[in-house]
């Protein structure tokens, strides 16, 4: 069987597969986010940028917030409206969006979605858009891979990662290879999907920006944000994972990065 390179993302195009591949039954990501918002006194109106299947947006809605979930994928938005109702779901591009001026108390951007801003221009456009969308003292809460993790470490690069899971009787297997593109400062991912239902293997390519903690701090400051937290955990995707009451650490050494920043109205 030959593999096909498709421009789409299998998981983004199949939200149910996405949730099966990345289960979060305890809603850890949503709970961690709500904890950050509460700890820093965010008002009720929240934009979940790159909301995906809507799980976290719906959790924040359940916590009493007025939530807008935004994503570029129509499939994700349709899934979110059906399976995680409560928030309003709209189509918007991370690389520049305008959902109104000063209409959100917080923007959240989870699971490395921010790193789909590959270029400096895209990062600038994202932060400018957040700034327009936020109230003068609005919060930005983001959680992502840590580019600095790859300085001097190759454990995630040396061997492909194989993961399999069963959904509706079909075993799906993904083999993921990561490479560093130092020129573009991107972590490039090639993922080959196979399933035991006789379908042809599918190869998909994607990339995340390798963003370094001090670079992020500088970008945020340049866009008028004061950094309140910047650390490698604990968070919803760290080992051990975050638990209620656990305070943020002070290092940015491990493979996840968590940031909370406040728009500085005097800027």
Ligand X SMILES: C[S@@+](CC[C@H](N)C(=O)[O-])C[C@H]1O[C@@H](n2cnc3c(N)ncnc32)[C@H](O)[C@@H]1O
Q: Which residues sit at the interface with ligand X, rule CB under 6 A?
A: 12, 29, 50-52, 56, 71-73, 76, 93-95, 110-113, 116
Q: Which is nearer to ligand X, 29 or 263 (CB)?
A: 29
Q: Which is nearer to ligand X, 60 or 94 (CB)?
A: 94
- Phi, psi angle pair for 11, to nearest 5°: -75, -40
Q: How far is the CB of 173 from ligand X (least distance, A)?
A: 19
Q: How far is the CB of 152 from ligand X (least distance, A)?
A: 26
Q: Which is nearer to ligand X, 62 or 221 (CB)?
A: 62
> Which residue's Cβ lies closest to ligand X?
52
- In angstroms, the CA 50 to CA 109 distance is 6
Q: Which is nearer to ligand X, 42 or 75 (CB)?
A: 75
Burial 196-218 (b: 16+ CB within 10 A, else e): eeeeeebebeebbbbbbbebbbe
- For 110-247, strand residue ranges (E) read 134-145, 161-167, 170-181, 186-195, 202-209, 225-231
- In angstroms, the CA 265 to CA 267 distance is 5
Q: Which is nearer to ligand X, 52 or 224 (CB)?
A: 52
Q: Which is nearer to ligand X, 47 or 148 (CB)?
A: 47
Q: How far is the CB of 257 from ligand X (least distance, A)?
A: 14
Q: Which of 86, 91, 102 is nearest to 49 (CA)?
A: 91
Instruction: Indicate the pairing of strand 66-71 with strand 88-91.
Output: parallel
Q: How far is the CB of 212 from ligand X (least distance, A)?
A: 20
Number of H helices and E strands in the chain, helices first, is 8, 12
- In angstroms, the CA 163 to CA 147 distance is 23
- In angstroms, the CA 95 to CA 121 distance is 8
Q: How far is the CB of 50 from ligand X (least distance, A)?
A: 3
Q: Which is nearer to ligand X, 81 or 264 (CB)?
A: 81
Cβ count near 245 (within 10 Å): 6
Q: Which of 203, 196, 144, 199 is nearest to 177 (CA)?
A: 203
Q: How far is the CB of 113 from ligand X (least distance, A)?
A: 4
Burial 154-180 (b: 16+ CB within 10 A, else e): eeeeeeeeeeeeeeeeeebebbbebeb
Q: How far is the CB of 51 from ligand X (least distance, A)?
A: 6
């Amino acid at each position: 069987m030959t593999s096909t390179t498709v421009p789409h993302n299998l998981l983004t195009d199949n939200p149910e597969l996405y949730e099966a591949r990345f289960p979060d039954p305890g809603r850890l990501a949503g709970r961690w986010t709500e904890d950050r918002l509460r700890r820093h006194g965010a008002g009720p109106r929240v934009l979940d940028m790159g909301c995906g299947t809507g799980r976290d947006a719906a959790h924040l809605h359940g916590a009493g917030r007025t939530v807008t979930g935004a994503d570029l994928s129509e499939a994700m938005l349709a899934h979110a409206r059906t399976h995680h109702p409560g928030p309003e779901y709209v189509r918007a591009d991370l690389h520049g969006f305008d959902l109104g001026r000063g209409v959100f108390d917080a923007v959240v951007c989870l699971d490395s979605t921010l790193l789909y801003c590959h270029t400096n221009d895209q990062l600038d456009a994202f932060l400018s858009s957040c700034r327009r969308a936020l109230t003068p003292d609005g919060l930005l809460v983001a959680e992502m891979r840590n580019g600095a993790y790859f300085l001097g470490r190759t454990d995630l690069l040396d061997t492909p990662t194989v993961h399999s899971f069963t959904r509706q009787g079909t075993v799906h297997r993904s083999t993921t290879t990561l490479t560093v593109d130092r020129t573009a400062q991107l972590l490039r991912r090639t993922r080959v999907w196979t399933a035991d239902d006789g379908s042809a293997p599918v190869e998909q390519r994607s990339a995340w920006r390798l963003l370094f903690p001090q670079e992020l701090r500088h970008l945020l400051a340049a866009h008028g944000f004061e950094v309140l937290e910047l650390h490698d955990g604990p968070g919803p995707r760290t080992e051990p994972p975050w638990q209620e009451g656990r305070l943020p650490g002070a290092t940015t050494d491990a493979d996840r990065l968590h940031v909370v920043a406040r728009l500085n109205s005097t800027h």
